[in-house]
Amino acid sequence: MRSSTLVPVTLVMLALLTGCAAGDLEVAATSEVRDSAGIRIVESHRPRWGVGERIEVAAEPSLELGAVEGDTPESFARVVGMRRLPDGTIVVADGGEFQLKYFDAAGRFLRSVGRNGGGPGEFQGIAQLFTCGADSLVVWDPWQPRASVFDGRGEYVRGVQFEVPPPSGSVYRLSECGAGGEVVVIGWPRTDGIPQGLHRPAVPVYFSRISDGRVQVEVGEFPGDDRSGSQYGSRPATFGRRTLVAMGDGRVFLGTGDSYEIRGYGMDGTLEVLVRRSRGVLPVTREDVARYQEAQLSLARDPNQRREWEQSLAAEEYPANFPAYAAMRTDPEGRLWVQYYPRPGEAGNEWAVFGRDGEWLGDVTMPKGLGIFQIGVDYVLGIWRDELGVDYVRLHEITAIR
């Protein structure tokens, strides 16, 4: 076995005062990098960005799509996905209306594609929308189950059903599509029955292709999403961990949220890099649970519903720790963006940014309340909901780039 080589990466802070000797220079390691059997292991202790190096996102949107009421294309029933195409067109997946809605770069409505049904270009449900290649769009409909491929003009191209080997046998969800048509497929958990209480069944992960849906690489089994089981069924656990996947620049990042570690794979299934932070997971405290429960109860319509919810929340189980992170995205530069998991009552929207080499560059503050779907070279695109629960699509400019 190859011996590990430790390579300290340093950020040198120069003392600029007149008369400072070389011994006065302060050197601080930002991360430790080592090689183990061909796998690059990067553990970051502090950000690499120095003074003047940063990414800033505008607090206010430069473009907003949505309407409070009215039977218009700009009014969304339930936004489940969105993408900005190279020509500036924004495509919004409206799961409530079973449609893709196209808007030009200025926000003017162009066309809608799709409807409820089982025929070509029709949906029984929309769970995901992502780009594939230059400007093709893929819609994942788990109720059929089928992926529908559209070209940049919204014309239906074909439907694809993905193969998943037994014992899983079916697709749980898809991930992004690479430039060559590669798709990450997560199979259904391999469990018998519904375990009681908190549990986390394993899921198989495969690399497939959008051209035919066939498995190219079986990556392995990973912990799936935390579930809470009872005599009435199973549901996602509050503060539960999830298996997160992001794809960019010929690499697939996969994280389970148990600790601050993210695995980076090549498209042949080879583990290439382990991205780590010297940051432990945060415990779920009584105060966290109390804030969460009160926020839920504040949504009750009347005293009777509040009493019912109080009983349900009192019987709920909570994990000992929060997930290590909440979401992952990549940008066109091959950087990995990882969202800090927000504790109940926190209004922040902070993301850590990692370079292509796996080192932590620094943190970026996203607009408050914005759920990020896409990060471009000079913009972020996401969903924002008002106090009435109305969905809006917002585009915010990246105003400062290192």
pLDDT 10s digits, 77-101: 999 999 999 999 999 999 999 999 9
The rounded distance, in Å, linking the Cα atoms of 54 and 289 is 35
Q: Name the nearest CA neighbour of 111 among 149, 155, 141.
A: 155
- Please tell me what DSSP assigns to residue 311: H
pLDDT at 234: 82
Given a contact cutoff of 8 angstroms between Cβ atoms, the answer to whether 168 and 190 are in contact is yes
Decide the pairing of beta strands 271-277 and 39-44: parallel
Q: Name the nearest CA neighbour of 80 among 69, 68, 91, 88.
A: 91
Q: Is the pLDDT confidence value at 10 over 50? A: no
Given a contact cutoff of 8 angstroms between Cβ atoms, the answer to whether 358 and 264 are in contact is yes
Neighbours of 135 (CB within 10 A): 16
pLDDT digits (tens, 9 = 90+) for 231-278: 777 889 999 999 999 998 889 999 999 999 999 999 999 999 999 999
Q: Would you tell me the crossing angle of helices 303-315 and 286-297 to the nearest 10 degrees? A: 150
Residue 208 phi, psi dihedral angles, 5° rounding: -125, -170
What is the value of pTM for the model shown? 0.90
Query: Residue 286: pLDDT band by 50, 70, 90 thresholds?
Result: very high
- Please tell me what DSSP assigns to residue 279: -
The rounded distance, in Å, linking the Cα atoms of 183 and 40 is 24
pLDDT at 191: 65
pLDDT at 21: 40
CATH class held by domain 33-284+319-400: mainly beta
> Could you tell me the residue ranges of all domains in the chain?
33-284+319-400
Locus of tokens 């220079």 = 25
Beta bridge partners of 264: 253, 273
